[in-house]
């Protein structure tokens, strides 16, 4: 082996010893950056999904609460028509409690939305309070008519809940 070949081999070895670890470090840094980016994207996805799931769960609960209010108002109207003496304060409290539960869920959902939606939830809660107050003097056959305005507002609010469910990919 000549002296020139020895230097060339020595220079190559020195270059490999110097630059190969640097290349590994750069690749490791790039891998770490990509991994961090993907991790942050995944966390964003999980947070958005958790919020959407909570919103959908509350929508389910408010639908249940709305129909519970209608059931309690009908029960009060029927009991008041059949035997007015047996209608108790507890019956009326149960009805108002059902409205309060609906209003609480509506307030939660409304706080996640704009002022216009908040106003609609407030209108609906007030309408349900009115219907429940008047349930004991409303004939049972007229209860569906008493809920007519509330049903219209509720349909709009329900459409507000349906949109995120349709946007969610299965």
- 16-49 per-residue burial string, b: 16 or more CB within 10 A, e: under 16: eeeeeeeeeeeeeeeeeeeeeeeeeeeeeeeeee
Q: What is the C-alpha separation between 89 and 47, in angstroms, rounded? A: 45
User: What's residue 167's pLDDT?
Assistant: 67
Confidence class for position 170, pLDDT limits 50, 70, 90: very low
For the chain, the domains span: 52-167
In this structure, what token pair is assigned to residue 23? 């290349």
**Confidence check: pLDDT of 166 > 90:** no
- 81-97 per-residue burial string, b: 16 or more CB within 10 A, e: under 16: eeeeeebeeebbeebbe
In this structure, what token pair is assigned to residue 27? 């690749």
Quick: pLDDT tens for 56-78.
888 899 999 999 999 999 999 98
Quick: pLDDT tens for 43-54.
988 887 787 888
Residue at token pair 């082996």:
1
Question: Which stretch of DSSP H or E encloses residue 46?
Answer: helix 3-82
Confidence class for position 9, pLDDT limits 50, 70, 90: confident
- 136-168 per-residue burial string, b: 16 or more CB within 10 A, e: under 16: bebebeebeebbeebbebbeebeeebeeeeeee
Q: What is the C-alpha separation between 159 and 103, in angstroms, rounded? A: 18
Confidence class for position 37, pLDDT limits 50, 70, 90: very high
Q: How many CB atoms lie within 10 A of CB 67?
A: 13
Quick: pLDDT tens for 62-120.
999 999 999 999 999 988 888 877 778 888 899 999 999 999 999 988 888 888 888 99
């Amino acid at each position: 082996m000549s002296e020139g070949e020895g230097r060339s081999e020595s220079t190559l070895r020195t270059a490999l010893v110097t630059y190969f670890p640097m290349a590994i470090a750069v690749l490791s840094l790039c891998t770490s950056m990509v991994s961090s980016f993907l991790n942050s994207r995944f966390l964003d996805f999980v947070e958005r999904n958790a919020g959407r799931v909570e919103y959908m769960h509350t929508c389910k609960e408010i639908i249940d609460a709305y129909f519970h209010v209608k059931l309690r108002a009908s029960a009060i109207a029927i009991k008041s028509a059949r035997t007015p003496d047996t209608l108790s304060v507890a019956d009326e409290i149960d009805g108002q409690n059902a409205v309060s539960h609906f209003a609480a869920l509506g307030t939660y959902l409304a706080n996640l939305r704009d002022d216009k939606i908040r106003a609609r939830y407030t209108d609906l809660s007030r309408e349900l309070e009115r219907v429940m107050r008047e349930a004991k003097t409303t004939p049972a056959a007229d209860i569906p008519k008493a809920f007519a305005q509330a049903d219209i507002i509720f349909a709009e609010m329900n459409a507000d809940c349906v949109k995120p469910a349709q946007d969610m990919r299965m």
